[in-house]
Amino acid sequence: MDLHAFPLVAVILALAAAVGLLAVRLRQPLIVAFIGVGVLVGPVGTGWVVADGTIELLARMGIAILLFLVGLRLDPHLIRSTGPVALATGLGQVFFTSVFGYLIAIALGMDVVTALYVAVRSPSPPRSSSSNSSPTSASSTSSTVGSRSGSSSCRTSSSSW
């Protein structure tokens, strides 16, 4: 579909409204309908919308607005009553994940310090495809560690600290 920006946005919004209305009639959550429309018009579906910096900015703004609206509807009494349970559950999950990550790393043959690092380190966000760092470039800060067959490697980057 070769449309300019305004007609394309209008068609996408009309499609989202129609699918949203259908979801309401079928008693389904609107968020599921809107995610479905996003998949339909995105690169996986029709390809009307291609991921670029503008779309990423709009997505982040949409998430911020969604979280703001959730914050507006939160009841302080509900937070106070569920806070201790949520805190205990969150800390329990961190402890559980760390212990089992450590045990798996030890079982895979890592030394104690490396296994501890792997167990408690949070994953770094994915790098954007527009960055010029590749594992084969000379200017890259990545180093290949422990590659047995040469086809698979584990890279560590000093820029993620």
- Beta strands 142-145 and 154-157 are antiparallel
**CA 104 – CA 77 distance, rounded (Å):** 41
- pLDDT per residue as tens, the chain (161 positions): 566 778 888 888 899 999 999 999 999 998 899 999 989 998 888 888 887 777 788 788 888 988 898 888 888 888 888 888 989 999 999 999 999 999 999 999 999 999 998 888 867 666 655 544 444 444 444 444 444 444 444 444 444 44
C-alpha 51: how far from chain center: 15
In this prediction the pTM is 0.43
State the pLDDT at residue 129.
55
